[in-house]
């Protein structure tokens, strides 16, 4: 009797697991959990860009994505003719170059523009938390990918 119940439960569990695996494979949903949630008061994700893991703040208030200038040489990129003025990260308004970097999500790929930032410690992350932060994911990225921020799951979800 117990063996029969265990076998039935195993089949039910296997069917539910297969359903969710197939559903996510079909939807190609990517879930990027907020890293060190609870340790930091700022949500950030680790995004694999061309094999380079980048710790990026999820910042809905920032229009363009931002990347530390010293990370650019580690990634395939093209210089963009676009130039912007940044004033949120520093007390001065400064003009900066923009680079376009391809980012893959499974079978899909987007090309994201990143404004380059010369500072060393965005939002004092290394000083405050001992975490190397490489940039910010801005609104343009979120619009291109159609991503959603799920605060109950503490994650950035790209459908």
Residues 17-66 pLDDT 10s: 556 555 555 556 889 999 987 788 789 999 999 899 999 999 998 889 99
Domain 28-158 classification at class level: mainly beta
pTM metric for this prediction: 0.75
What rounded mean pLDDT belongs to the chain?
A: 82
Enumerate the domain spans of the chain. Answer: 28-158
Position 123 scores a pLDDT of: 73
Query: Which residues have a Cβ under 8 Å from the Cβ of 118 and sit 6 or more positions away?
Result: 68, 69, 96
pLDDT confidence tier of residue 8, bands split at 50, 70 and 90:
low
- The label of the residue with tokens 């969710």 reads 20
Angle (CA) 68-144-119 rounded to 5° is 10
Mean pLDDT, to the nearest integer, of 108-127? Answer: 85
- Averaged over 110-133, what is the pLDDT? 86
How high is the pLDDT of residue 39?
84
């Amino acid at each position: 009797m117990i063996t029969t119940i265990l076998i039935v439960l195993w089949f039910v569990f296997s069917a539910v697991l297969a359903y969710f695996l197939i559903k996510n494979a079909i939807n190609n949903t990517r879930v990027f959990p907020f890293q060190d949630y609870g340790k930091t008061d700022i949500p950030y994700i680790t995004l694999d860009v061309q094999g380079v893991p980048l710790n990026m703040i999820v910042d809905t208030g920032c229009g363009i994505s931002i990347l530390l200038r010293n990370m650019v040489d580690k990634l395939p990129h093209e210089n963009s003719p676009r130039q912007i003025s940044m004033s949120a990260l520093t007390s001065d308004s400064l003009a900066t170059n923009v680079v376009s970097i391809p980012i893959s999500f499974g079978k899909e790929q987007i090309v994201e523009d990143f404004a380059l930032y010369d500072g060393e410690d965005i939002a004092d992350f290394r000083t405050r938390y001992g975490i190397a932060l490489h940039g910010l994911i801005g609104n343009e990225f979120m619009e291109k990918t159609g991503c959603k921020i799920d605060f109950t799951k503490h994650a950035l979800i790209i459908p």
